[in-house]
Amino acid sequence: MADARYVGTAYAVHSTTASINVHPSTGGLRSVRVDWWTAKVTGCGMHSTGTVSSYDARVLVRNSMRVLETIPTLDLKRLADLEENARRWAVSGTETQKVDAECVLLAITTERARRKDQADDQRKRLAVEVAARVKDKGLFDRVLMAFTEMVPEQWEVEILKEIGGRPDQHFNKIAKAIGKRGGGYVNLAVGSLCSSREAYLGPFLPTQRVYSDFLIDFALHREPDGSEWHGWTLKPEAEAALRQLKIVA
């Protein structure tokens, strides 16, 4: 196991793993590999795996630019692993580890912002393409396209089935029927499944109150005591399209 007595020189970095020649103070030469993600050092040959020491951190500082350069290539899991390790070092590491961790955390934040911007640009391009394809289509065809090309999640199917199967319900009753505690869930769920498909169903107009207006007709009910509530019913064209897709029964 490498420890702080070792004096080493990094000779290569493969992806996010530094390969290091280690000269123990007692003499001799061996090779270890330091992995940023797991904070483990692995010895070659007869040497085993051990915990990264302050020595290993100093080696990684020399290779920090190469480590940072790999960040845009990482998938979400590897990026999260790196962030977790860097946050740990930022709190409890040596001064060298803390400096290195600050750089890595900043790079991760920047990379996430870049990916978000890239995803936003891609969504905008897709929205333009979709809008051109649905421009002259009615709601039936728009709903068919929306729920065919963006296959609904189970929670989306669940709530659409309930609304389609029992029209003109209060949102609290809809929520209870699918095992939720309140109508706020229904507002959020239907609004979300509509807004995510705005390119197909939209655009959202100033005259609309909520995104749910794309699919739902709201019927105002007045009770004898003066209270009011709205019943939720799928628009006829939307219901027909969802039935054809077997999303609602």
Domains of the chain, residue spans: 7-113, 139-244
- For residues 160 and 152, the answer to whether their CB atoms sit within 8 Å is yes
Closest CA to 195 of 174, 212, 178: 212
- pLDDT tens digits for the chain (249 residues)? 333 322 333 323 333 444 433 334 333 333 334 444 444 433 333 233 334 344 444 444 445 667 788 899 999 999 999 999 999 999 998 888 888 889 889 999 999 999 999 988 988 898 899 999 999 999 999 999 999 999 999 999 999 999 999 999 999 999 999 999 999 999 999 999 999 999 999 888 888 889 999 999 999 999 999 999 999 999 999 999 999 999 998
Give the C-alpha distances (Å, rounded to integers) separating 15 from 67, 73, 98: 7, 10, 21
**Residue position matching structure tokens 């979400």:** 76
Query: What token pair was written down for 30?
Result: 């061996």
| Residues facing 50 on adjacent strands | 41
Does domain 139-244 fall under CATH 1.10.10? My reply is yes
Q: Alpha-carbon distance 170 to 46, whole Å?
A: 70
Please tell me the pTM assigned to this model. 0.61
**Residue position matching structure tokens 């100093």:** 58
What H or E segment, with its residue span, contains residue 173? helix 171-177
